Structure 1
Amino acid sequence: MNSRAKEVKVELPGFIRVYEDDSVERFYGSPQVPPTLEDPETGVSSKDVIISADKNISARIYLPKIITNNHPILVYFHGGDFCVESAFSLHHQRYMNILASQAGVLVISVEYRLAPEHPLPIAYEDCWTALNWVTSLDDPWLTKHGNLDALFIGGDSSGANIVHNLAMKAGTQSLDHGVKILGAFFSHSYFLDEPSSTRLDVQMAYKIWDFVYPNALGGSNSPMINPMGDGAPSLAGLGCSKVLVVVAELEGQRNSEIRYYNAVKDSGFQGSVELFETKGEDHCFHIFNPDTHNSKLLFQRLTSFLRN
């Protein structure tokens, strides 16, 4: 029986469709590509590693062309609403090549399990496992070239949401080997605190959350998706020393991201908190069009954050 003849159980138009037999079709995301020994544009080399064979967690590691024994380490979490996209996609491969090259960082881009086959909180758990795997330096590139005293985490969209939840967890639960997170960047973050918004993209974000985490305690008021909500833990507890919040002027969740920045700043958080907003741009524009003037400015800002 072909897919057209099967009965649909759930569909998020333009994103994903689930059939009654629990098979899944994804309609969004760039094609997956292999790693490269030396990217022709940036000179960055990449390879894939297995983090947990049992849990099917893996990652793509990026090593800059100019190699030292002291590269800052960035553990990166891709976006895609927890249910589409991949660390191995064409868009993210190009993004990580540029960032590794310009910032001189060793990047570990995590391939975590996706909903609905693996509903949240599985992605959060996978990413915490991956972050602790990095602290073990259980890879020759990490051992020879990485500096755990300069450990960063970062992500875009749902990946930025993952960053928030990992940083909050790191504030109450130590990473393996006593490693501390130096900094975290939150780019075009997937947060929800505007249930009355009439914007279609914001309404869709609420539907997606219910789809990827149907058993979330508090639903869309869960502190995992609404860190500014009543009863959410204080953002002073973020387990890092500095924060960068990246916002695009035209994206639907801009107001939530600005409120997050202000909430961190006003929480008593002991580190530094910075905001970078790009005018005239929409959600994750730099991933889809990395060669534009505004994308280059954003890469420069990320580079500065990761280097200093």
Structure 2
Amino acid sequence: MASSTATKSREIAAEIPTVVRVYKDGTVERLRESSFVPPSLDDPQLTTVSSKDTLISHEPSISARLYLPKPIDNKKLPILVYFHGGGFLFESAFSQSYHSHFNCFVSQVDVIVVSVEYRLAPEHPLPAAYHDCWASLQWVAAHYSSPNPTNREPWLINHGDFTRVFLGGDSAGGNIVHNMLMRAGSETLPGSLKVLGAFLSHPFFYGSQPIGSEQATIATQAPDYMLKVWNLVFPGAPGGIDCPMINPMADGAPCLAGIGCSKLLICVAGKDKLRDRGVWYYDAVKNSGWLGELDLFEETQEDHVYHINNPQSQTAHNFIKRLASFLLG
């Protein structure tokens, strides 16, 4: 991070308070960032989980942190491809926050996690993150369809059950999950791999017309906050804040009946400002004609991404139990 003296000497081009500051010289200062931590094949404090980092693509640069429960004997495990949150502007698959969450998660749920490190805005504006995450899903599928995939990952080949591939993500990551599902419903993955299910945790959706409690929120804070975020991460987005990628119910958005999986879980938190958008999405899928299995899970007394911010809390454990039922049931 730049020094305070250097910061004062540069002009700010754009700013999302408490999140990110962009200077006219091109420097980006992230104001909300947890520290990066290394993986561990043998975590001394949590011996039931191994983790390691792997390269998915050189150009563009895409990588992932993988988590594997142990002992696993010879059984095949579901594969969870996960997209982290952070408003497309900050956070990382390699951060302390997500590493702690997945160590806790995988110690309780027997799945292989592929936590994707996609490119962030504003240096790499959308749709870069969407392209990276689709490429990551293609990479996973290539292990099913090819005997020698690029950047071969033995954990997937030796332990992955490719009939049980799931997508998951929180906040911006939940938004990514939706966009990957729409693409999976209309495009063929390597080997014709099918995504079995997906969960969206506190998904980042929005639109020009306020719904539910958003009307009260607009009266108490800057009404253009979400618009500022979206314009920074996706300048020139078709339809602006009503781009189908952030507003799945916008005019001209693809029909949700085309969601490309068989099971879908929408998770919301009662105190989260995005709560009503998650319920709105659940209702829209329910009424779309989509033929899959759909459920809604709400923790009424919690706020946005509580399970990431405090992975040892009782409500976070309750959340993991619900996901375990969804992924393993």
**Paired residue for 2:63?**
58
1:236-251 aligned at under 5 Å gives the runs 236-251=257-272
TM-score of the superposed pair, with normalisation by structure 1: 0.97
Please give the residue correspondences for 1:49-128 in structure 2 after superposition, counting only pairs within 5 Å.
Answer: 49-67=54-72, 68-128=74-134
How far is the alpha carbon of 1:7 from its aligned partner?
Answer: 1.1
Letter in 2 for 1:58: S
Deviations 1:78-116 (A, max 9, x none): 000001000000010011122222120000000000000
Q: Distance in 2 between matches of 1:233 and 1:120?
A: 19
Matched AA of 1:99: F
One-letter code of the match for 1:172?
A: S
C-alpha distance in structure 1 between counterparts of 2:294 and 2:208, whole Å: 23
Aligned counterparts of 1:239 and 1:307: Cα–Cα separation in 2: 19
How large is the Cα RMSD of the aligned pairs?
1.4
Moved more, 31-40 or 164-173: 31-40
- Structure 2 unaligned runs (5+)? 144-151
Equivalent residues of 1:157, 1:188 under 8 A apart: yes
The residue aligned with 1:30 is 34
Select which of 134, 137, 140 maps to 1:134. Answer: 140
- 1:119 and 1:212 in contact (8 A); partners too: yes
Quote how far apart the aligned CAs of 1:295 are.
1.2
Q: Supply the AA of the counterpart residue of 1:250.
A: K
How has the CA–CA distance of structure 1 residues 201 and 258 changed in structure 2, closer, same or farther, with 3 Å as cutoff?
Answer: farther
- Aligned partners of 2:32, 2:208: CA distance in 1, in Å? 25
5+ unaligned residues in a row in structure 1: which ranges? none
Native 8 Å contact 1:8 1:18 kept in 2: yes
Q: TM-score, structure 2 length as denominator? A: 0.91
User: Greater shift after overlay, 63-72 or 253-262?
Assistant: 63-72
Distance in 2, Cα, partners of 1:248 & 1:144: 37
Q: Aligned with 2:130: secondary structure? A: helix
36-45 vs 160-169, greater mean Cα deviation: 36-45
Q: Tell me, yes or no, if the aligned pair for 1:161 and 1:190 is still in contact at 8 Å.
A: yes
- Match for 1:104: what amino acid? D
Q: CA deviation at 1:202?
A: 7.3
Aligned length: 308
Alignment-derived partner of residue 3 in structure 1: 7
Equivalent residue in structure 2 for 1:145, among 159, 163, 188: 159
Structure exhibiting the larger radius of gyration computed from Cα positions: 2
Who is 2:147 aligned against? none
Moved more, 156-165 or 170-179: 170-179
The CA distance in 2 between the partners of 1:202 and 1:49, in whole Å, is 41
Take 1:42 and 1:228, find their aligned partners in 2: how far apart are those partners? 45
Residues 17-67 of structure 1: CA deviation (Å, up to 9, x unaligned): 111111100011211100011232352100101111111100001010121
Aligned mates of 2:315, 2:68 — CA distance in 1: 25
